[in-house]
Structure formats: structure tokens, C-alpha cells
Structure 1
């Protein structure tokens, strides 16, 4: 099942101590809880994966890819806007065991991806955290 568009009740980010991941290759960045574990980065430096210290099945992943040489148009069916003012697409996908919140942003020749993932039974506990981080995701403009 895919849910189109998401909203989250207010989330108090001050309840967390944050670090910021900055990708040197593509220039995107986002905050994450400082106690989350960074998994080994890919050798091409296109992104990062993090896991929760309380539950290693809860993870955040972010990466970017170059697209065709011609600039691509922004996502025409955007349903989300970051705090930076960038429009994109956010979806929640639910299968039999896993739920994902997925954000996709497009800028010039680059497509940016971010996702928060957990087991279905844990997803309600992480939904507002994932949504908050997606809102804070920044790309070069």
C-alpha cells in the first residue's frame, strides 16, 4: 500500500540532540539524532545509512544520483515542501512487514532520495521523527 502525501502533528525537535550529515559530493544535508549509528559509507560517497541505537531495524538512508545531462524538470506531482522551500514528493509505503517514508527531490541534473524505514509495528513511534527530518532536508540551490 502507498499513501500519497503525509502530514505530522507537531514534533518537538528540541527533545533531541542532533548531528548534521553533509554530503560532500552532492551537497545535501539533514539532521539526525546524535546517538544514531552511522553505517559504513559507500565508496562512491553518494550517501549514508544510519540505524537507531534502540532498534537496529529502524534506519535512515539518504543518497543522490546524477541524471541525464539535460536539466530535469521539478517533480510535477509534488506534495511536500521542505523548510528550505524545495518542493518534492513524499510517500509512505507499507508492505507486510516494513513501512517506509520516502522523500524525493529533483534539482538540475540530480535526484535526491531520503527514507526512514522501520518494521510496521514500530513505524507509529518513528513517523513524526522521520517527517521532521524530511522537512529539514536541504539541497544546494
Structure 2
């Protein structure tokens, strides 16, 4: 009887330990870039090395160290008659999908190919400001990291 009790305690302890490890691995916090000029934030994986904020403080390079990977986030005042990202996307034959961000707001995700790279761009317009997360990455990087890129773009939030 005592052996069975110890066996049950051992199994229970093992299950609790496994659950704690699983919870810890799922709760690894991503880093957060906050842009105070335009009032927005984007989350990114902690293993990414980000660049310095641009001189005009409109955004940042979220991934430095690989010449085949360009992932930027930035914002600017939106003037539809001067620059329309949807027209540009349509002219290049890109797909435009409506997605829901983590904050439950709707945005557009533009996806297409430019030369040997994948163009993956979130466009969110609110209060005359256009917010972007723009990735131009190699096809192999995209295939390995598509879920991560989607998580990054969906994390865009306005403050």
C-alpha cells in the first residue's frame, strides 16, 4: 500500500512538473517596441536583434543581422491622394487580405513576391495615420517564420 502511495505521489509530481515547464515555455514574453511619436507598439520575438530608431523617429528595423531579411515597423501621416498602398499592391498583383489584430481592430495584410523575396505588409489606418509592419524576406525565411511574422503584425496596437 505504501509503495502505491509513493508511486502515485511520484506520478502526480511528474505531471505537475511537466505542466509547469509547459506553462513556462508558453509564457516567454516577447519584447515590445513602443513608438512615442505616433503612439503605437509592436511585439517581436526576444531572439531578434532590432536596430536603432530612425532619425525622424517614425519607426525601427525589427530584425538586423541578415541582409536577406528586412522587417520594419513605422508610421506616418496618411494622405490618400499622395500615396495609396492598396493601389500599389494591386498594381504589383499582390493579395490583400483583411485580418483582425490582437486588439480586435481590422487591418489589411498585403502579400506578394518581389524578385526572389516575399513582400508581407500590414497596413492599418486610423485617425489620419498609417501604421505599417513591412517585411521583405527570402522565401526560405518566410517559409520557416510565417507564423511568427503573422504574430508580429497582429500585435500592432495604437496607444
TM-score, scaled to structure 2: 0.66
Match of 2:55 in 1: 43
- CA shift, 1:112, in A, is 0.6
Distance 1:46 1:60 in 2: 14
Match of 2:75 among 59, 64, 69: 64
Render the CA deviation track for 1:21-54: whole Å, top value 9, x for unaligned.
000101110111122122232111000102266x
- Normalized per residue, the structure richer in helix is 2
In structure 1, runs of 5+ residues without a counterpart are: 1-12, 69-74
Match of 2:138 in 1: 119
| Greater than 4 Å deviation, 4+ residue runs | none
Establish whether residue 31 from structure 1 lines up as the match of residue 43 from structure 2. yes
Distance 2:100 2:64 in 1: 26
Indicate the structure whose relative CO is greater, using CA pairs within 8 Å and at least 6 residues apart: 1
- Normalized per residue, the structure richer in strand is 1
Match of 1:93 in 2: 112
Cα pair 2:72 2:134 within 8 Å, conserved: yes
Match of 2:21 in 1: none
* Greater radius of gyration (CA): 2
In structure 2, runs of 5+ residues without a counterpart are: 1-24, 80-85, 87-95
**SS state at 1:123 partner:** helix
- CA shift, 1:16, in A, is 5.3
Establish whether residue 21 from structure 1 lines up as the match of residue 52 from structure 2. no
Distance 1:14 1:114 in 2: 24
**SS state at 2:141 partner:** helix
